[in-house]
């Protein structure tokens, strides 16, 4: 196989591991009760979008490396047959880090799987999985990393490669990065290489596994793409990713409706004079009042939005209520919170679940 070619994936040879064990602390209060990969994103749990991409690539066996609220994954996904997958959840007995988590999850795979494709469960990506596997095979690599080019690499660790695509270093964040290529959170491992990761203790794949392989002279390949890529770790990126999915900017086969300016789930009731724009998702049984304007936001199931409300780039949690003429911009309102009329929630404010804010023109900005 030549470099740059896509690979046919044999489901008896290639399996996937998805790491979904993190607590999602940067997304609190949304993740107080729901793991980040299970948050409703464009109408379905984010993980459904990722799994749809894995299935589309031809992979059938998937191990979920779980930890935080593991029972939520098992309750929703079952055995994966509804998604065309053979899915197993493998809860970590203790926090094992990225490398340790990959090793522990992959231990559940049968011996016949020679390649393991690893995904971080909070990355929204348009990665061509077959192309990454194809480059891995063509290079005869021990491990291959999906790399993306970003406008500002100073915010990331960089991964330079030589003209053949071979990884030459793993660099921490620097003000003068030598490349705009960064680790995109998708890897292909030869099974024997993955099995050599130490078991039973925390291991960082970024700080220990990959640098150790480089030091040992192993072949690490970088597959560089300019495809869509977004880490959904913050409220701002979460709402952006959801909006991009609704509008078709990010690929998925799991969108529960047509691509468009807004997505409405069953039971949603929107007043005739209300407007929904910029990839807004309106969850099941949401009610939106007259003159409300909702832009680029996620309204989760059962939310109530009053008359004249403005919601921009925000998340309104399930069962939350927003009173008439209130403004919510770049904010998060937690489950079952109640926001009174004529309030302003601005600039990163986070309202915890169940909190009640009375009417009266109250203004909140920053953290909460």
Q: Give, in words, the CATH class of 261-365.
A: mainly beta
- Whole-number mean pLDDT of the chain? 89
Contacts of residue 93, defined as CB under 8 A and 6 or more positions apart, other chains included, come to: none
Contacts of residue 89, defined as CB under 8 A and 6 or more positions apart, other chains included, come to: 63, 64, 66, 70, 73, 74, 77
Please state, in angstroms and rounded to a whole number, the distance separating the CA atoms of residues 213 and 99: 13
Q: Where are the domains of the chain?
A: 14-235, 261-365
pLDDT grade for 5, boundaries at 50, 70 and 90: low
Assess whether 269 carries a catalytic annotation: no
Q: Give which of 105, 135, 127 is closest to 15, Cα–Cα.
A: 105
Q: If you search the block for the tokens 């926090």, which residue do you land on?
A: 95
CB–CB of 67/89 below 8 Å?
Answer: no
pLDDT of 167 higher than 90: yes
Question: Percent of the chain beyond pLDDT 70?
Answer: 96
pLDDT given for residue 224 in this prediction: 92
CB–CB of 98/106 below 8 Å?
Answer: no
pLDDT given for residue 79 in this prediction: 66
**Would you state the CATH architecture of domain 14-235?**
Alpha-Beta Complex (3.90)
pLDDT tens-digit profile of 285-312?
A: 999 999 999 999 999 999 999 999 999 9
Give the range with max mean pLDDT: 220-229, 251-260, 276-285, 357-366: 276-285
The active-site residue out of 13, 173, 269, 363 is: 173
Please state, in angstroms and rounded to a whole number, the distance separating the CA atoms of residues 42 and 351: 22
For residue 29, say if its preceding peptide bond is cis, omega within 30 degrees of 0. Answer: yes
């Amino acid at each position: 196989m030549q470099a740059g070619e896509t690979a046919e994936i044999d489901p008896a040879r290639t399996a996937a591991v998805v790491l979904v064990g993190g607590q999602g602390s940067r997304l609190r209060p949304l993740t107080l009760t729901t793991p980040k990969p299970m948050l409703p994103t464009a109408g379905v749990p984010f993980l459904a979008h990722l799994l749809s991409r894995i299935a589309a690539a031809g992979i059938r066996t998937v191990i979920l490396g779980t930890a935080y609220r593991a029972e939520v994954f098992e309750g929703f996904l079952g055995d994966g047959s509804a998604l065309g997958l053979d899915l197993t959840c493998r809860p970590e007995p203790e926090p094992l880090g990225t490398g340790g988590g990959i090793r522990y999850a992959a231990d559940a795979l049968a011996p016949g799987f020679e390649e393991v494709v690893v995904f971080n469960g909070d990355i929204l990506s348009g990665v061509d999985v077959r192309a990454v596997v194809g480059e891995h095979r063509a290079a005869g690599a021990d491990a291959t990393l999906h790399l993306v080019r970003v406008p500002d690499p100073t915010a990331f660790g960089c991964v330079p490669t030589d003209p053949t695509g071979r990884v030459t270093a793993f660099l921490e964040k620097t003000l003068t990065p030598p490349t705009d290529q960064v680790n995109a959170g998708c890897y292909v491992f030869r099974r024997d290489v993955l099995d050599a990761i130490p078991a039973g203790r925390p291991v960082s794949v970024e700080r220990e596994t990959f640098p150790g392989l480089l030091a040992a002279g192993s072949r690490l390949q970088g597959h560089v793409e300019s495809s869509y890529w977004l880490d959904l770790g913050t409220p701002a990126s979460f709402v952006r990713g959801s909006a991009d999915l609704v509008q078709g900017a990010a690929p998925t086969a799991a969108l529960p409706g047509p691509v468009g300016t807004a997505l409405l789930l069953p039971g949603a009731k929107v007043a005739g004079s209300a407007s929904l724009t910029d990839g807004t998702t309106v969850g099941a049984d949401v009610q939106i009042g007259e003159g409300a304007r909702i832009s680029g936001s996620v309204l989760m199931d059962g939310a109530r939005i009053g008359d004249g409300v403005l919601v921009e780039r925000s998340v309104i949690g399930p069962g939350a209520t927003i009173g008439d003429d209130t403004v919510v911009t770049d904010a998060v309102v937690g489950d079952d919170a109640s926001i009174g009329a004529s309030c302003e929630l601005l600039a990163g404010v986070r309202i915890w679940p169940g909190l009640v804010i009375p009417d009266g023109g109250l203004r909140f900005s920053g953290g909460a």
